[in-house]
Amino acid sequence: MSSCKYTNITVMGDTASGKTSIIVKYIHNIFTENYISTSCTKLYKHGEYLNIHEYIDVRDHAINCKNVHGVMIVYDIHNQESYHNINNWINECYRYYPSHIPIIVCGTKSDLSGGEIYKYENEEGDKMKTFIVSAKTGKSINDAFTFLLDQINKQYIVARIKQHEEDTDKNKKWCVLM
- Evaluate whether 90 touches 127 at the Cβ level (below 8 Å): no
Which 3 state secondary structure label does DSSP give 39?
coil
Strand order in the sheet with 40-45: 40-45, 50-55, 7-13, 70-76, 103-108, 129-132
Task: Return the CATH number of the domain spanning residue range 7-171.
Answer: 3.40.50.300
Segments making up each domain of the chain, as ranges: 7-171
Q: Of 29-33, 61-65, 125-129, 132-136, give the range with the top mean pLDDT.
A: 132-136
Which 3 state secondary structure label does DSSP give 122?
coil
pLDDT in tens, 111-150: 998 777 777 776 655 668 999 999 999 999 999 999 999 9
Query: 108, 95, 93, 98: which is closest to 138 by C-alpha?
Result: 108
Instruction: Determine the average pLDDT of the residues in 85-91.
Output: 90
d(CA 11, CA 77): 16
